[in-house]
Each structure stands twice: as structure tokens, then as C-alpha cells.
Amino acid sequence: MYFMYYIQKERDDYMLRQTTTENGRVAGIPAADPRITAYKGIPFAAPPVGNLRWKPPQKAADWSGVLNADKFAPISMQSTPGIGDPEFLYNKEWHVDSKIDISEDCLYLNVWTPAKTGDEKFPVMVWIYGGGLQWGYSSEMEFDGERIARRGIVFVSLNYRLNVFGFLAHPEISAEGGGTSGNFGLMDQLAAMKWVKRNIASFGGDPDNVTIFGQSAGGGSVMAHLASPESGGYFHKAIAQSCGGIARGPFGNMSTLNDAEKTGEAFFKWAGISNLEEARSISSEKMLDLGMSFKSPTGRHLTWGIVTDGVFLKEPPAKVISENRRHPVPLMIGNTSAEFLVSPPGDSEDKFIDFANKRFGKNAEKYLSLTGLGKVSLEEAVKAGTFNGFDVGNRLWGLKNAQLKTSPLYYYRFSPEIPGDNEGAFHSSELWFMFETLAKCWRPFVGKHYDLARQMCNYWTNFAKTGNPNGNDADGSAMPQWSPFTEDSPYAMLFGEKPEMDKSEVSELTAFLIENETAARA
């Protein structure tokens, strides 16, 4: 018995199963691969409850003894995952656990590390989940950090406040906050990044080699940090996946503080809330129900979203980025081929023309000519006029960045065959691949998908290590070369059946759309 204990102790000592943070000692658990240690549910800020609701994140409390970081913390306040239409894509894909704990006390993070001693200085990747800033959580099944950690990375995922809890602005909140409010979810993300700066060395990570990356609203958050004067110095590379780039859209244009405060006032009035003190006394569950039921009178795409608040964000991120005034770090950006396609109406030519006039204004005639409306069938014209706005926004970002010439940008498009239904390469489908977590998915993935996932995870982690995604595959052979996006080489890495640079010329429609977006930003 003593002999077996000795062997187990030696194994545990060989991996970094315990370490010390600024608040106290923590104990992790072996991942499925015991060479990786997972630490789950470490507090990085005080619970944002009671009087701390709608305040910037505060310092986490110290603890005595050893904190067992062996299970995920509750997820941020949001609609219960998996409730509703069982055929809804994301309910089938990963929001499957309706019994998951949900709490306003949500500011916790998770760490996967390959460290043995804590002195290794592995590169660090900090993940920011998507979900439209209304939903999402770091413990979603596809976000398992083990495969990333196996490649010599310390992986961190974090929770942040969402919806009305994370992005409410109101004059009373601004008055107590030095003239600004909103963006509490972004402040949470930054608080976690600052925690990484102060603590990640204890997990074997290098605080001077940090990559932030996120998808959808997480990618939009990355854009915000690239533009925020508050976030400079806390990351050294960035990956923005499927956030629309710098085209018009939910992350291209933000609400002003004045408009967001008016939305907050309208919300209080609609909900029958007299003042901020009363709002903070309402239960989490009731506040969530109120916040999710209310619709902004300003017509914002997201009732609760990122605000140009004058402090965290002085200007819309897309404007800062398009003018090359962002933090000058290496970038990776991209999108999937079948996400949020924009199509003109297909039920009448009059509606088609009205769509063109509203979207393109004085350039509508050019768009209509490119679709062939009136010369081909309406169905053919609709097909010819359909486009991926995220692709346009990312290509425009690449062209603007090419003028900077000081930090590389690597652009990808994700377009493999996705089995199981007819969704195609849908918004978020690349997550299974770049996290290399296909085995957790219900879809009947086969060998070619696993090969692509392995290589994508390689590219992502190579980029985190050096700012260049290129390198060798697991067998030592060189992966296809991924060239940065430049004026002379404005190309994307296409993740289809296999990775390959797509050097085809952009279509006339795409060129028109890029030109139109450029003019709209002038």
C-alpha cells in the first residue's frame, strides 16, 4: 500500500498539480491526458453581486489552505442552455446541459498547463467565448483546452458578465463611475488578462507571451481590446474569429455612451425601476428575465452590447483598426464560408431593388448590374447577389493592415464539408477543429476531419508561440505554407478538405463590396 502511494505521489510531483496564486494555493486535477493539469474555477475577481452589480471588477478575496480547482464555476447569468427548440443548431451542437449551474457570481477562469515545475515559461493563450454578448460560457464542451496545452501552451479560459449584467449603461451608473458606464463584460475580460499577467508564471506560463483569441462576440471583444487604451500591454498577439472584421455590423459600429444611457433609462422606466439602488436589489433571476425581455428603443442590433464609453473605448474599434491606430501586434483573422450570408429578397424584383437601394444607396445600380437582375431569372440574380459580409469585413481589414507594414496579419477561410446535416460550414463550426475536440461532437466526423483539426490546432498554437502560424505537422513534415496578407499577396489560407492557400482573384461582387465599405468609412 505504501509502495503504491509512493508511486502515485511521484507521478503527481512530476506534474504541476498544485501551485500558488496571489490569493492562495490551488490544486488542479489530471486532464484526460495526465501529462496535462487542469485547474477549473479559479476566482480572478470578487463576485459582482449586490452593490458590485454594474461596477468594474474588484479584487478577489484571499483564501487559506488549498482551493480545490477541480470543477467549473457557475456560468454567467443567461438563458438556460438547451432549453427551447431541440432542433435549434446550437442546442444540438453544444448547449446541451440544462442542469448547468448559472449564477451572478461568475468571475472565474480555468487553466490547462503542461508544466512540471512552474518555471517553464510556456506561451499563453487566453480564450474569450462568443454568444452575441448575451450567452456563452468557458465550460462549453468544445472549449476543452487539453489539446492546445499538449502543444506546449498554457491555455486560459474565462467567464465574463453578459447581457444586462455586463453591458447596461445608465446615467446613475455613470455618475458613480467617473462619467462612464457599460462595458463591464469587457472590463471582466481585462481583469482576467491582468490576473494572467500577475499569476500565470506560477502555472508555467510566460506573462510576456500572451495571445488573446475569441470567436463571434469573443472576436468582437478581441477587436475592442485591440482598440482600447486600457488593454495595451496585456497581450502580444491576437486572433479574431468570425466577428465581421471592420465592415458594418454588430462589432463594426458601437452605441455611443449617450445612446446607451438612454437605453438604460428606457429600461428602468419600462421595468418600473425607480433608481439604481432598487435595480441592485432585484434578484438575479428577475433581472435576467427583465433584461432579456426588453428591446432597445434605439433599434440597436444588440440591446446590451459594447459601448464607446469614452474610457475603455474612446472610439468604435472598427474605426481605430481601419485607421491603423490599434495596438500593433501580430494578427490572425478569419471566417467560415456559410455564416450569416446576406441575400437580397427573392420574392419580387421590386423588393430586390429596394434592398439594393437601402444597403448601397448611390451605388445600388452597380450592385444590381453585378447580379444580372432583369437579364437572368430572379433566382439566379439572388444567388449572384448573395455574399458573406464577414469575408468582406476581414478582407478590408487585411487591406488596411497591409498599409501598416509593421505587424503581420494572417487571414483564413474555413470551408470543409461538415457532416450530419445541411448547415455547411456554419458560424462557430471551426471551434471543433481549432480546439481539436471533434471527438466530443455528435457529428460523424471521419479521418479527413481529424487531420484538418490537428493541423488547424497546430497553426493556432504556432501563431501563439511566435506570431507565425507555420511549422511542422505531428509527423515532422512541413504543413502547407501560410503567407501573411499583403497588398501584393492578398490571399487567405483555405481550410477545406485540407489547408491550402487560396490565390484566386476576388469576384467582381466582392471587389465592389470592399470598395463600397471603404467609401462608407471615408
Nearest 5°: phi and psi at 242?
50, 50
- DSSP bridge partners of 336: 414
- Can you tell me the distance from the alpha carbon of 222 to that of 38, in angstroms, rounded to the nearest whole number? 24
pLDDT in tens, the chain (522 residues): 443 333 344 445 579 999 999 999 999 999 999 999 999 999 999 999 999 999 999 999 999 999 999 999 999 999 999 887 777 889 899 999 999 999 999 999 999 999 999 999 999 999 999 999 999 999 999 999 999 999 999 999 999 999 999 999 999 999 999 999 999 999 999 999 999 999 999 999 999 999 999 999 999 999 999 999 999 999 999 999 999 999 766 565 678 999 999 999 999 999 999 999 999 999 999 999 999 999 988 766 678 999 999 999 999 999 999 999 999 999 999 999 999 999 999 999 999 999 999 999 999 999 999 999 999 999 999 999 999 999 999 999 999 999 988 899 999 999 999 999 999 999 999 999 999 999 999 999 999 999 999 999 999 999 999 999 999 999 999 999 999 999 999 999 999 999 999 999 899 999 999 999 887 766
Q: Could you tell me which of 403, 325, 359 has the C-alpha nearest to residue 249?
A: 359
In the chain the domains, ranked by start, together with CATH numbers, are 15-343+387-521 (3.40.50.1820), 349-385 (no CATH)
Residues 517/245/92/77 CA torsion (nearest 10 deg): -110
- Secondary structure of 463-516 in HEC code, one letter for each residue: HHHHCCCCCECCCCCECCCCCCCCCCCCCEEEECCCEEEECCCCCHHHHHHHHH
